[in-house]
Amino acid sequence: MLRHATATAWLVLLGAWLAACQPQGAGPAASPEDAKPVASIDGETITQGELDAWIKEELFRDQTEDRAAAEIYELRSRALQRLLDERVLAAEADRRGVSTVEVLRLEREARGPVGDEQVTAFYEKNKQNLGGATFEQVKDRIRSFLDEQRSGEITADLRQRAKIEVLLDVPRIVVGSEGPSRGPADAPVTIVEFSDFQCPYCARVGPTLEQVLARYPQQVRLVYRHLPLDRIHPRARAAAEASACADEQGRFWEFHDKLFANQRALAEGDLQRYAKDLELDAAAFTQCVKERKFEGLVDRDLEAATLAATASGKSGLGTPAFFINGILLSGAKPAAEFFRVIDAELARAAPPSPPAAGS
C-alpha cells in the first residue's frame, strides 16, 4: 500500500513536471514565488524555482532507478494521458468560450440521462459488493456514478477528434493468446486477460469489457486465461478447471458469467448446478471435473502469468491483469483506460493516409 501511495503521489508530481516542460510561451508565466531566493553560494543565488525543478528531477530518479521499463513507461504514460486529456478539454472549452466544467456538463447533457436499464444492470452486476443495500437505497448514487464515468468517454471522444500523436515508446510483453476468446480471430488488437473467478475486482471489470467489445466489435479480440490466486481464493482453481470443462462443450462464456455472478457459491455442488442450469452434458462435465482433466491447462496459464510478470519487472501479477497487444494494464481500470490504449494501437496499425492531390 505504501508503494502504491508513493507511486500515486509521484504520478501527480510527474503530471506537473510534464506540464511545466513546455516550449516558451506554451504555459503560464513563472510566479513571483519562483524568483524568491532560498540560498546563495559565493554570492550566486539559488531561487525557489530552481530548487523545485531540482526536487522534481530527484523524485524522477528516485522513483525510476529500480523499476523495470514497463513500470517507468506506466508512470510516464499515465501522466502524459492526463496532460493530453486536460489539453483537449481546455481546447474545447476555449472553442466554446466556456469553462472545462461546463464542457463536461454540456456533453453529459447531450448524451441524455443515464437510463434506468443501465442503473439496474449495474446494480445486478455489483450488488454482492454493495454491502446488502437494496436497489432503492443506492439507485440514485449509481446513476450519479455512471453519469460521472462518462467524463472519461467525453475526453476520449475529444481526443479522437484532435490531432494527437503519442511518441512515447511502449514496452511490450510477449504473452500467448491461447484460450477461450471473443471477437474476430484476425482483430488488430488482442487483449489477453488473466483472471480469477473469486476475485471481486475481476467481476467488477466485466461491464467494462462489455463496453470495450461493443465499441470495437471488429477491432478487438478478448482472450481469457486463468490466474487463480490459490493462497487467498481456495475455490478459484476448481472453478477455473470447471470452466475449462464447460469450454470443452462450447459453453465457456456462459459458465464464466455464472461463476462471476455467484462468486460466493463455488463449492463442488454449485459448479454442478451451474452446469445443469446451462444444460451441459452432466455426465461428461462431472467426469471432466472429477479427473481434473484441465489441471495442466490452468498450470500453463499460471506459468505464462509468472513469465509475463517477470518480464514486466514484477514479482507477480495481480488480478485482473490485461495485456493489450503486449501492453500491460493492471487492475479493474475504467473503460476510458482501455479505449486509450486500443485507440493508440489502432492508429499505429492503420496505413498512412495517401498524399493530398497536387502535393
Buried b (16+ CB within 10 A) or exposed e, 105-120: eebbeeeeebeeeebe
Q: Region 41-49: what's the mean pLDDT?
A: 84
Tell which wins on pLDDT, 162 or 267: 267
Q: Region 323-346: what's the mean pLDDT?
A: 93
Contact 68, 312 (CB under 8 A): yes
Instruction: List Cα–Cα distances, 61 to 68, 124, 166, in angstroms.
Output: 13, 46, 23
User: CA 92, CA 26: separation in Å to the nearest integer?
Assistant: 17
The answer to whether residue 316 sits within a structural domain is yes
The answer to whether residue 168 sits within a structural domain is no
The answer to whether residue 214 sits within a structural domain is yes
Count of domains observed in the chain:
1
The pLDDT confidence band at residue 66, using thresholds 50, 70 and 90, is: low
Supply the pLDDT for residue 31: 73
Give the pairing type, strands 44-47 and 181-182: unpaired
Tally the C-alpha atoms within 13 A of residue 40's C-alpha that lie toward its C-beta: 7
The pLDDT confidence band at residue 185, using thresholds 50, 70 and 90, is: very high
The answer to whether residue 264 sits within a structural domain is yes
- Cβ atoms within 10 Å, residue 59: 16
> What would the DSSP string read from start to end of 260-301?
HHTTT--SHHHHHHHHHHTT--HHHHHHHHHTTTTHHHHHHH
Chain center to CA of 18:
22
pLDDT tens figures, 232-255:
999 999 999 999 999 999 999 999
The answer to whether residue 193 sits within a structural domain is yes
Lowest mean pLDDT among 163-177, 294-308, 341-355: 341-355
147's CB contacts (< 8 A; 6+ apart) are: 108, 113, 114
Burial (CB < 10 A; 0-12, 13-18, 19+), residue 230, is exposed
Give the pairing type, strands 220-226 and 189-195: parallel
User: CA 139, CA 326: separation in Å to the nearest integer?
Assistant: 38
Buried b (16+ CB within 10 A) or exposed e, 133-162: eeeeebbeebbeebeebbbbbbbbbbbeee
Lowest mean pLDDT among 63-67, 244-248, 310-314, 315-319: 63-67
Tell which wins on pLDDT, 31 or 155: 155
Q: Give strand pairing partners of 47.
A: 37
User: CA 75, CA 181: separation in Å to the nearest integer?
Assistant: 30
The answer to whether residue 333 sits within a structural domain is yes
Task: Look up the CATH number of the domain holding residue 320.
Answer: 3.40.30.10
- At 237, which amino acid appears? R
Supply the pLDDT for residue 6: 39
| Cell of residue 190, nine digits | 488482442
Chain center to CA of 216:
16
Asked if the model's pLDDT at residue 30 lies above 70, the reply is no
pLDDT tens figures, 193-220:
999 999 999 999 999 999 999 999 999 9
Asked if the model's pLDDT at residue 20 lies above 50, the reply is no
Contact 207, 252 (CB under 8 A): no
Closest alpha carbon to 66 in 327, 313, 330, 310: 313
Asked if the model's pLDDT at residue 184 lies above 90, the reply is yes
Asked if the model's pLDDT at residue 352 lies above 90, the reply is no
Asked if the model's pLDDT at residue 7 lies above 50, the reply is no
The answer to whether residue 34 sits within a structural domain is no
Supply the pLDDT for residue 213: 97
In this structure, what is the dihedral angle of CA atoms 28, 29, 35, 36, given to the nearest 10 degrees? -50
Asked if the model's pLDDT at residue 24 lies above 60, the reply is no
The answer to whether residue 131 sits within a structural domain is no
Contact 198, 235 (CB under 8 A): yes
User: CA 297, CA 225: separation in Å to the nearest integer?
Assistant: 9
The pLDDT confidence band at residue 25, using thresholds 50, 70 and 90, is: very low
The pLDDT confidence band at residue 60, using thresholds 50, 70 and 90, is: confident
Lowest mean pLDDT among 21-30, 49-58, 150-159, 205-214: 21-30
Supply the pLDDT for residue 359: 42
Across the chain, mean pLDDT equals 85
Q: Where in the sequence is the domain holding 337, given as residue range(s)?
A: 181-348
| Cell of residue 162, nine digits | 484532435
151's CB contacts (< 8 A; 6+ apart) are: 104, 108
